[in-house]
Amino acid sequence: MKLSVYLNYAGNCEEAFQFYEQRLGATITMLQRHGEQPYQSRVPPDWKTAILHARMEIGDTVVMGADIPGAEPMRSAYLTLSVPAAEEAERIYALLSEGGQIFMKMEETFFAKRFAMLRDKFGTSWMLLCEPATA
């Protein structure tokens, strides 16, 4: 059994996945458009190039997504990205928070060298975690 994450976007799935590929080192393994499905009469003309199904890998995790009319930003759920070094946590925090909404700024906590909570410009909510070294 394997658990994966599926994200819905309001028309910017491809832009978001390309951003994660370029900036987080994700690998996009599939992009299928609404215009490629067999039932073309059901697809509005302005949704032909929108993403029907996308798949990427971030580390060992599979993240899938699609453009869905009326999709809203994530609420009450976060993708948690664990990184090994504080400097990498700070780098990722800077790029994901640009144009987004910060819920908890990047800082040291009692449980982590660095921790932050934010929603990026695509509506995806993230927790960034750099745990302290264990002895």
Q: How confident is the model at residue 132 (pLDDT cuts 50, 70, 90)?
A: confident
Length of the chain: 135
DSSP H or E run through 87: helix 86-97
The model's pLDDT over 52-76, given as tens digits with 9 standing for 90+, comes to: 999 999 999 999 999 998 999 888 8
Structure confidence by residue, pLDDT tens digits, 103-129:
999 999 999 999 999 999 999 999 999
CATH 3.30.720.110 fits domain 79-130: yes
CA distances from 84 to 101, 128, 134 (A): 24, 11, 12
> In the chain, which segments carry CATH 3.30.720.110?
79-130
What is the CATH architecture of 5-67?
Answer: 2-Layer Sandwich (3.30)
Which tokens sit at 3?
């658990």
Confidence of residue 87 (pLDDT cuts 50, 70, 90): very high
Residue in this structure with the two tokens 């215009």, named with its chain if needed: 35
| Rounded CA separation 26/95 (Å) | 14
Distance, in Å, from the CA atom of 89 to the CA atom of 16, rounded to the nearest integer, reads 19
- On whether the pTM is more than 0.95, the answer is no
Residue ranges, CATH 3.30.720.100, the chain: 5-67
What is residue 43's predicted lDDT score, i.e. its pLDDT?
A: 86
